[in-house]
Every structure is written in structure tokens, then in C-alpha cells.
Structure 1
């Protein structure tokens, strides 16, 4: 089978054959600007027509591939455009957010995070650690790590921005895990909680994901007003007290979220 080097990473010993075939087929389609026939795809990837057709049909179902109704030629699907745009937006968010996160971490002397929502989980895409480790207790989340959205401030503030129908669908598929005694695991209770989060513009993780750790988060919006990420400050509960959150931290985090949003083109005078 013809192959293409897709990554600078070494080829894994347990590479799944179907994934490899899909990758090669997508690469062939990417090089065929006017579309390509089933027979030509099969020949280029050195696979039987039947196998190639099954893979293409599966990719069409998920919109990764489309087929011209007249020529019957195959081309890349619009789902790849959606994914590509999401990747570019995430890269742009990280680039724009980094100096603001650094300033927030320096001002609060706590760890600052940037995260996005992926279905019922948050994915941490940036982290700026504070140099103040006098207590020896830090949040354990790392860049690339996932966390259940219901148990952290970043997740709750992102869920709170969803339209009601999307939120209801998300709650139906969510697997609620009791991480600490404070974790909200009842869907109706969480929905009520999220209404309050949306109204006030920030969310608090009161030792809900990790004992001894509190966080406060606010949403980041793009130029058309859609929430695309969230920013938070996280640290030891002995330092991040409830009084400190209400007194200064929530305002610091919301101000940073607005600064990042404005760097992405958001105009508060248009969307207020």
C-alpha cells in the first residue's frame, strides 16, 4: 500500500490499519482538486475497489468526503473545513491569550488556564504557572488534559453559554462523576447552577474537581460574540478563599477574558 509521511512523530508499532488507509485516501483526495474516481483512488492507494468503496462510503457518512452527483468523483468533504477552522481558531486563541494569561498569573500569583469545550469535557490548551509555590499545593491539570465539564469552573462557564437545546442534549449524554463531595452530579441541579453562572458572567469551582483547590473562570468570545474558550485562575483553597473570589479574583478573571475576547475581535458595545 502506498503511504505518505503525515507526521514528524515516529510510526507507532500498533498503527491501526484502517486509520492508515483513511489517512492515505484523504491525502489522495487532497491532491485531486477536481475530484477523483473510485477506480483511480483504489489504484493510487493499492487497495481493492470494494475495500476502497467501503472506506469512502463511511467517510461520506461523516462528511469527511463528498461525491459529485454527475461525475461520481470523490472530493474532500466540508467537515474537514470545519475541523481546520476550529484548529486555526484554537491556535489563534492560544497566541492571542498567552500575554494576558501571563499578566493574570503574575497579578494574582496563581496559575492561569485557557480551555475549550469538547462535548462534555474541557480541554486545557494553555497554562501559565505562578512562581509562588509557598504552600506546595497546585492544580494538577496540564495542557492537553481533559476534565469533566460539570466539575470545574472552566467547564461550567462554557456549558452556561450554550443554547438551551444544546445544553439539554449535553446533559443527557454527560457521565456524572463524583470527584469530591462538592461535585454537582444531578442534571437538574447543574442546570439551575448554570443559569446563575450565565447571569453573573463567571463560574467558581469550590473544591469540586480537587480537594484543596479553588478556581474561578470567565468566558472568552470571538468577533461574532460566540463563546470559544474560557480563562481561569486556580490555586490552593487556603489562598483562594470565597471572600477573595468575590472581592477581586472574579473581576480580574472577567477583565482578562474580555481583553482576550477583544484581541480576537469581540466588541462589547455591539453585543451588550
Structure 2
């Protein structure tokens, strides 16, 4: 990962909008610390392919600004990111309208329920609720920490199926069709056919496409202007999410929850 790559540097006007190289480099430093789960000056410098002196300047600036901490020679992201994340989430209409409905869905199903947002062609967990029988905590932790691709998750496909056509084409064109399991969709044409089916029936499924032994059902959440603002989903082991529960019962519950969130979004518009 080289901080001096063209996408991180200041571009010419004819090549696109201008960028502030130092800000891009600082963002890359933060990302490296996150990926390494903390690291020494040497580790971070090697990953960035920059001199220790240059990286030390960035690290010390981030420490002074409160975004990074240093202890026993190791740099880590500070708790300030927790406060920032909470602020961003609490200012999101989808979260305010949906988190209590997701709690109710998790309680009814006994499984993990998620409220999902989309940004830059990736999905992000805005909120999750753990039902009585929910499993695979490490997997769900990874989902919370890293934005996921859209093509191999139920919520991601539900969102992708309902974004405007030109944006869907752009996302698919830039999609990295990484094969996670034998069931993962890795072909753009197949994905488009799947998305058309999702638009018709109103929900999406993930049939062991992201991780073997796990299934999920997702439904889009539409805003007052009928544009997709996110999705809600339930994830469970294949042993519990099968037959009619997978094909009929869970889709009905997930779509009902999405509808309730849509109502909350609509009423909030009049209350504000």
C-alpha cells in the first residue's frame, strides 16, 4: 500500500478534482493502524512504503489531535472514533426509525437481525440485535467492523436491486466478485438476473453465499420518496433456516419489519 499513489495525491484539474495529498496520507495511516490492529512505527512505515521520519510526523500529529494513542511503542486508534461513530449513527434517520424494530425482529426470530446502510457501493451495519439462539458472534463482529460487498449478502442484494439503474450499473461495473463459497455469485449477468427476481418478489436471500452453513433473508427499506435507504436482514444457521422458514416465514417477517421502518420514516418526516 503506497501512500503516494495517484489516487492519494493531488490530481491535475484535467484528470479530475483536486485532492490534498497530506489528508489522503493521514487517512491511509489510520486505515493501516486499523488493519494491523495497532502497530509499531516500523510496521506502519513498511506497510505504507514511506520513511520512518515521514510516518512519525503523521503519527505524532494524529496523536496530538486525539485520533491515535501510543503506548509502549505501539500506535492504536483512540476511543475518539467510538464517539464519532455513535454521532454519525445517531444522526442517521434509518437508525432512529429502525433500531427498535430490529430488536423486535431479533426477539421474534431468536436470530441475529441487522439494519444495513449502503455507502460507496458497500454495505455497513448500522445496528444489530442478537436473538436468544443467535450464533457466529465472530462473523457478525467482522461485519460490523468492515464494510462488505453487496453481491453475496441478502441485505446487500436487496439494496442493489432497488438503487437507480445507472447507479446499479456503476456499482456492478466496479464490483469485486470475490468467491467466498461455492454458492457465491461471481458473474455480472447472473447477478443482474438475481436482482430482477428480488425486485419482483420484494426480498433477497443469501443461501450460503458468504459463509458455508449460514443463510440470511433481507428486504429493502424505502424512504418517503420511494428511494432505497437501506435494508433489514436476519441471519441464521442452515439447520434452523430451512424449508418453509427460509422460503416463506422469514421473508414475511423481514418484509414486515422493513415496512414498519418505512412507516416510522414517513411519520418522522411529519413530526420534524
Distance 1:17 1:166, change over 3 A: closer
1:205 corresponding residue in structure 2? 206
- Cα distance in structure 1, aligned partners of 2:249 and 2:147: 28
> Is the aligned partner of 1:19 residue 2:23?
yes
1:66-85 mapped onto 2 (5 Å cutoff):
none
Q: Which TM-score applies when normalising by structure 1?
A: 0.63
- Cα distance in structure 1, aligned partners of 2:139 and 2:25: 37
Question: What's the RMSD between the two structures over aligned residues?
Answer: 2.6
Distance 1:159 1:202, change over 3 A: same
1:138-157 mapped onto 2 (5 Å cutoff):
140-142=139-141, 143-157=144-158
2:113 corresponding residue in structure 1? 112
Distance 1:193 1:228, change over 3 A: same
2:12 corresponding residue in structure 1? none
CA contact (8 A) 2:90 2:96 kept: no
1:183 corresponding residue in structure 2? 184
5+ residue gaps, structure 2, are: 1-19, 28-87
Distance 1:115 1:90, change over 3 A: farther
> Is the aligned partner of 1:158 residue 2:162?
no
5+ residue gaps, structure 1, are: 1-15, 24-86, 268-272
Runs of 4+ with >3 A deviation: 20-23, 87-90, 136-139
CA contact (8 A) 2:89 2:95 kept: no
Distance 1:242 1:155, change over 3 A: farther
1:222 Cα shift?
Answer: 1.4
1:209-251, Cα deviation, whole Å (9 max, x unpaired):
1111100000111121111010001111110114212231000
More helix by share: 2
Distance 1:91 1:238, change over 3 A: same
CA contact (8 A) 1:138 1:213 kept: no
- Cα distance in structure 1, aligned partners of 2:172 and 2:24: 34
Distance 1:176 1:213, change over 3 A: same
1:182-227, Cα deviation, whole Å (9 max, x unpaired):
0001000000110001111000000101111100000111121111
Distance 1:208 1:137, change over 3 A: same
